[in-house]
Amino acid sequence: MRMTHYFWVFAGLLIPALGAAAWTGLSGAESHLTIGLISSVLAVGTHSLLIIFMIVSGRVLREAVRVRKLSQTFLDELNVFFTDRRAYPAAGLASAFIVVAAVLGPGNRSFGIHPSVHILIAVGALVYNLYALSLESRALLENQRLLDRASIELDAADARGEGPVAEPSPGVVSPMPWGPTLA
């Protein structure tokens, strides 16, 4: 499966989950807290998936440029994602927005905040998350096309008998490999 398929599966689950959270919130259903929590976790996971895919694809392309003498233009094109595209910051902002909405849900009991604050922020988070998903989807499609072009070029180099020109870098070995992962 391609990274876009994974993302679309998560997004396909997220959209109805956000709709269900909104519906149960507006109707005052008891299940709103559970559905809202599940939706917010799914939203953060979906947006984090975009960030992870971009980091991993950047690492793969960087290694291909270094080890296989792939054209530097592939990295230059990937860097456009971080400078010109809005999807990367949108993913972080959408995650933060949905978390704020989730935290303010019980805010009227915990912090004495009027329930309308949660409603306004939750509606804003819903709209912004849908907007962010559209940006992220387009960015992932462009990134997938870039990876496909790199794959075609690497396959052509293999067919010509051109092998690696350097050893792959082993990466940095952390003394606590699980520490950053758990954090």
Model confidence pLDDT, tens digit, residues 93-107: 999 999 999 998 887
Mean pLDDT of the chain: 85
Section 51-65 average pLDDT: 85
Query: Which residues lie below 8 Å from residue 168, measured CB to CB, with a gap of 6+?
Result: 63, 67
- In terms of pTM, does the model score above 0.85? no
d(CA 128, CA 47): 12
Query: 57-82 burial, b if ≥16 CB within 10 A, otherwise e?
Result: bbeebebbbbebebeeebbebbeebe
The predicted pLDDT at position 79 comes to 79
pLDDT tens-digit readout, 64-95:
888 887 888 888 888 776 666 678 889 999 99
pLDDT tens-digit readout, 137-167:
988 888 888 889 998 988 888 888 777 766 6
